[in-house]
Structure 1
């Protein structure tokens, strides 16, 4: 599956590696997607499918496997990737996330609607979600909750629920300008982000 993802969209497959050991520290595999698909019930395998292309042209991407044990690796990966995304005219990235704190939250408060849990925020940490995975993605710029999906993928702590998140690519609204800008200059501009 990894080889198929890279072969399908080589310019949208990135990773960060340790310079000493060569060990992978972070990865992200992107594919074009029609955002309207997230307004209906959807499962992870539908979102991540390599062989499915959107019916109409799109400026949106779906990301698979954005995880890392080292936050700096994710930051380095995005710093490398952003100029290419801007040059390609991409506007936003969607991700699917588990909500691993859901089961425990419902054990404490069985009547709580799932919507309430997903949208709950920490008071002391700049409005971050209370769920640890959603908070992680929030810090990476994925701040818009698009939909809550039942039976998204098997994950016991999430009770099989998933959340579709959206992150805007910084400065993407100037897409025509970025497509005309030489890549070396665009790399310099994106470093300011």
Structure 2
């Protein structure tokens, strides 16, 4: 079983080799450096948070690293979630809390966090994970996204609800830059707009709960019988399906 993949970065990272793999406890220092670059102090995970996620959900914790420096370029932490729990949770904490391992109750995942400083590395994360997702029968991934354009929009539209902003589009794409970013990664279904979801001043602490379907996951009974190496050879095609479907 291949537990990592490598790729050549393009664009600004030309010549750099990216390794993408499941995370290990020894990665925490590099992950903390990434977290502190990406998030404010009250938003960033600490070492104990990361250790707990990796221990509980090792097959759902993925990172991309620069092979020359060892720097973490992107990380994705996920957990299984019951859809009823997702809808009932008032905030991100209620969805992201690390839980003791129990019997799997569904086919949905929740993205606890996605951190990156490199767009190609985020693409590598999803390409790497799709074959495992198909093999394990996962159908979709939910995320809680900030909406960093909301505060400025509310200043111009004080009487309109945040939900209106969440659903606004320009040229067929979400108006909000973060929702547009996730849209291009395949997260195109808007599930809910929740106040006091997590601390994020430019989002007025609102969060958009969004959903992405794992491509070809409707064939889950079939994929369980397909050898993982064959699915891995299909991973570039799978991710193109996400971006174009």
TM-score bracket, normalised by the shorter chain, equals: over 0.9
Describe how 1:2-21 pairs up with structure 2 within 5 A: 2-21=50-69
* Aligned match for 1:167, one of 209, 212, 217: 212
Bigger relative contact order, structure 1 or 2, given CA contacts below 8 A and separation 6+? Answer: 1
Equivalence for 1:99: 147
Residue ranges of structure 2 left out of the alignment (5+ in a row): 1-48, 239-245
Q: Tell me the distance in 1 between the aligned counterparts of 2:84 and 2:146.
A: 20
The aligned residue for residue 185 of structure 1 is 230
Q: Give the TM-score normalised by the residue count of structure 2.
A: 0.74
Question: In structure 1, what is the Cα distance between the partners aligned to 2:89 and 2:152?
Answer: 24
Structure 1 unaligned residues grouped into runs of 5+: none
Distance 1:183 1:35 in 2: 27
2:75 maps to what in 1? 27
Q: Contact 2:80–2:104 at 8 Å: present in 1 too? A: no
Give the superposed CA RMSD. Answer: 1.5
The 5 Å alignment of 1:98-177 reads 98-123=146-171, 127-177=172-222
Aligned twin of 1:39? 87
Q: Deviations over 1:99-140 (max 9, x none)?
A: 1111110101111221210000112xxx22111111111111
1:85 to 2:133 alignment: yes
CA distance in 1, matches of 2:214, 2:223: 12
Contact 1:32 1:54 in 2 (8 A): no
Pairs aligned (count): 190
Deviation at 1:155?
A: 1.4
Secondary structure of the structure 1 residue equivalent to 2:138: coil
